[in-house]
Structure 1
């Protein structure tokens, strides 16, 4: 693992991919580019291959770090942001077209090198089934054989399979699953369901019988995720013991007062009671404000620790007390397994770029110190923390994300302009798609784009943490106030969060004005009700409605159901990002806004801290490391040269 940490970031990804797919090193993109030029591939195809370096924030000379392998292409390159290499008005279409050219050329290149890949005969076997299904799609209640879009999952398999459809087997399906992105896996799951349904209905449509695989497919368990252990599946006696320790860990001041009074009545001296209270509290400055959230963290750390010590086959025999879990061997095994999972796939962060180990070890330390109050267990955790110090990094130490975004904006100032103008751009795309919509699917897509435009309208005004952005409530419910208030309809919205709803306890107020307010109003008053009706969702108090329950409920707030799930949020955001080509997550919008603010006022970290509801120390750590101010100045100069109106908009926001 030490060698991996010293390698360049993309080389790490390559090594991770090599160790999971094949022992033979694949050809590299530099060889692929040379072949494309020598083989007289079209000029557009060569251009798209050359763009791959920029999409991955590399130079053309660094193409030899990128493996020319289809699985790597699908997982890393195909999903990379496209805005840095294109200014097309339809970035999603441009990216799909570019990916298709590179994918097809890569298949030809691998075929020329003797690698097994798709060919025309294989694709023809899918074409027959796809054509029959597509011709008979429509409304089933109007005599159509298949519902709309039944054929679509077959398109992905046709593009990537190495076997003809009648010969497709579980081994090939597993390979496709392993190489697929999260979105691709959703499509493959639908494909497996379609195959099962079509094979069961062979008497109804005999034309398909000979075109289908001979067996149903089993969707593999995700190999890059840990085996889930449901808390309720643990022995009742163990859970009772653990919950009692957690209660001791989270003992609130009122509990300590009651306990102290009880001890005094039992005849203990005040000195003894005071000393024990001091030992129980330790160096804890303040108790956690959200008991439910803290308890969930302790449970996650506990199941993480026992996952490698108890196999699913053996069950949890012998698991009696929480204290028994805290052995040095168990702690090391859990850390090793976490690092191995990170190294095994490109879909997870590297262990030394993730805060997972820090989170787990911190929770276990808290339980040991304040719940178990055992010096020996604390010492064991301390030693393991020392052994894995390179991987146990707190979120405050991880500034690579912020630095990468600052660098991207400096190199591609058009991305900064795209971020500032994102609400208006997405709203315009949404309007066009809704006007042209001729199906329920197209209508829903247009409405979801309007939702994403509204989310960006808030983020470019004052970038919120995602947990706050997507928990914004437009209506009060019993025990839970609203956040959104329209000061002036369509012109000025105020979104207010009390300290209890914000991660660091600071209250936050967001004011949305002008064009951004119009975008938010269009979603709130016009498009949101349409989406609720279209999807048949129950009335919801949330600005972004759904059918899920909040994952971690806030203390003192009776948060209602009806919010979007995390998966739905990421799908919604990805839909918008495909139009913008920014490659930003909702949280990374905070980094982008901070970078732009420092471009307007270099060195003004206090202003950045106030807008992001952080401390100035945190702002300096994330955005002032090394030449942060110089980078901000460079961003400003580049932006002024290409987009002189951007800073007028930014000045109005700050």
Structure 2
């Protein structure tokens, strides 16, 4: 785990010190219970709690964001999680004050209270005379809870500290806070009561420290891009292209021996596996190229003087790119450890393919192999990446009720959505309830046959020119079929999902009832996607003319997180595949062929992910526990398969 490595060098105090202090000073029993739950939330034993620093920044970024379902069976997990986090946060602040550390004080908090009170009293519909739109005050709540300075004294340095310690959701609030401050400071003449309560400066949102500098492909020099695209075209030369090239060379008078030798050289010693999706392959080559250029070209100098793609493949550039990738991972608690990530494997695979089949340069190929050898400990293929799968299996084995929560997720989220929508009195509340319905629909698909996220959120409910629909209702409210052609699926296999019974009702409610409401509420144009938005697909499919109108990656993550807070599972959309595989092996121990078929993988991959003790043995343990606590769960799972 990330914290295992990053905490060993962290300065004291640590969480055992915090827990001991809480008991000695008479903190409430509920607060002590919440502190003791931290180890389980982070999948640590009590003895391993000394790996967790008693630090507010770490608490907000790692502990507060961790799954809560393993430590609570509350009917409202989101509320229970917030309440538990609040108790630990408040006690941690008192603990740090007692040990001489700077924390938010009461006086600083009061300055926020005044501003928030004024804004709340004047929120509403601007068209009806309100000064501010609904929820203008919300970003101030996070800053009030975290800042060490009063609102008028808040400066860029303190804002940077808040940003560094914040979760992705917290950074979204901080970005909105910075925007609100700009708007409020510009309109000070309209509300003088607020002017004296605001910071004396605007804030600049820092660049994300744990993410690499983004280099758009279009920002590279045109000559370089043209050269690179030609190399990529040579790399992706298909058999039909090779045949046409060979015929052309024969017409030009070259000997058959020369042509045959060049074809053999282009193909290489090993049989080349042609990519099934040209556009995805091109995107990978471009991404690997910008990754290679990022560290060898400083932002201030840009890419002036950048020649050909061949010139970019230097040993220094390869070394610098690898070192930067490993350093980013080591410095961030939100990124995977470099030795648990397949990023370097992906980059080296693409660069090797370009060097062998595009540039056809033995020297460059040797450089890549050597640098890959130097960093072999961090070059992990996706097939070897079983840590995620093992973690999910272990979590289900230790907490069988989480398996039941996963299977029943669509119905639970659907019920919460219906109740919240009935009680909603504001557009914000209605939007939240409708997004919960969308998440319930996503889960209805995932528990039926867990899809890769790219397929799940690109599901189309109607056809567009050059692009067929995926979703078809075989029987209203009872049976939905979702079909993807081979060109849409990662491994090129046709994939069909059947959503039946209660899950079909949940999907119908979203598709036919709640989806139109959300689109109207958000003012969205008509979209063919089951999960509509305003974005364009990130990776175009060569066989399809994918339209715009889908959800952005950020919106997808926000939507999924909203649902996961109600379930407490701590699963990502992709990790649902691991959860479903574990449950299938619980129903049929050792049935890796079934798992491979359901997940649209090979049996070899299924065995590598789930064939260890943490797979088959964990599944047996899960089965026994689930049969004892939820005797009907397997009859439901059998119907799914």
TM-score range, shorter chain: over 0.9
2:230 matched residue in structure 1:
244
- TM-score, L = length of structure 2: 0.98
SS at match of 1:272: helix
Q: How does 1:268-417 map to 2 (within 5 A)?
A: 268-282=254-268, 283-417=270-404
The answer on 1:10 being equivalent to 2:3 is yes
Residue equivalent to 1:113:
99
How far residue 317 of structure 1 moved from its aligned partner, in angstroms, is 2.7
Conserved in 2, the CA contact under 8 Å of 1:129 and 1:211? yes
Q: In the alignment, is residue 584 of structure 1 matched against residue 577 of structure 2? A: no
Shift of 1:422: 0.4
Please list the CA deviations of residues 289-309 of structure 1 after superposition, one character each: whole Å capped at 9, or x if unmatched: 222221111111111111111
Partner of 1:54: 40
1:149-548 to structure 2, matched below 5 A, reads 149-282=135-268, 283-548=270-535
Range 623-632 or range 643-652, more displaced: 623-632
The CA deviation at 1:536 is: 1.1
Q: CA deviation at 1:9?
A: 4.7
How far apart are the structure 1 equivalents of 2:307 and 2:191?
57
Shift of 1:15: 5.0
**Counterparts of 1:209 and 1:329, CA distance in 2:** 53
Aligned partner of 2:622 in structure 1 is 635
SS of residue in 2 equivalent to 1:390: helix
- What residue number does 1:3 align with? none
Call closer, same or farther: CA 1:535–1:9 in 2, change over 3 Å: closer
Q: Cα offset for 1:485?
A: 1.0
Q: 2:73 aligns with which of 87, 90, 100?
A: 87
CA distance in 2, matches of 1:554, 1:232: 20
Give 5+ residue unaligned stretches, structure 2: none
Alignment of 1:611-650 (within 5 A): 611-626=598-613, 628-650=615-637
SS in 1 for 2:297: coil
SS at match of 2:253: coil
Task: Please give the secondary structure, in 2, of the residue aligned with 1:395.
Answer: coil
Q: Aligned to 2:32, what secondary structure does the other structure show?
A: helix
Once the 2 structures are TM-superposed, how far is the Cα of residue 284 of structure 1 from its aligned partner?
4.1
- Are the equivalent residues in 2 in contact too, given 1:289–1:555 (CA < 8 A)? no
Cα distance, 1:584 vs structure 2:
0.3
Quote how far apart the aligned CAs of 1:248 are. 0.8
Distance 1:323 1:554 in 2: 28
Contact 2:8 2:51 in 1 (8 A): no
Is it true that 1:36 corresponds to 2:22 in the alignment? yes
Equivalent-residue separation in structure 1 for 2:347 and 2:271 (angstroms): 18
C-alpha separation in 2, matches of 1:268 and 1:594? 56
Give the Cα–Cα distance (whole angstroms) in 2 for the partners of residues 218 and 495 of structure 1: 45
Q: Is the 8 A contact 2:227 2:308 kept in 1?
A: yes
**Alignment partners' CA distance in 1, 2:215 and 2:486:** 33
TM-score (norm 1): 0.96
TM-fit CA distance, 1:11? 2.3
Cα deviation, 1:395-421, whole Å, max 9, x if unaligned, reads 111000000000000000010000000
Equivalent residue pairs, number: 640
Instruction: Give 1:627 shift.
Output: 5.0
- Alpha-carbon distance between aligned partners in 2 of 1:563 and 1:427, rounded to the nearest angstrom: 22
On the 8 A contact 2:2/2:336 being kept in 1, the answer is: no
Contact 2:396-2:622 within 8 A present in 1 as well: yes
2:69–2:77 contact (8 Å) kept in structure 1: yes
CA contact (8 A) 1:331 1:381 kept: yes
Report if the CA contact (8 A) 2:2-2:337 is conserved. Answer: no
Distance in 1 (alpha carbons) for counterparts of 2:416 and 2:637: 23
In 2, Cα distance between equivalents of 1:601 and 1:207: 68
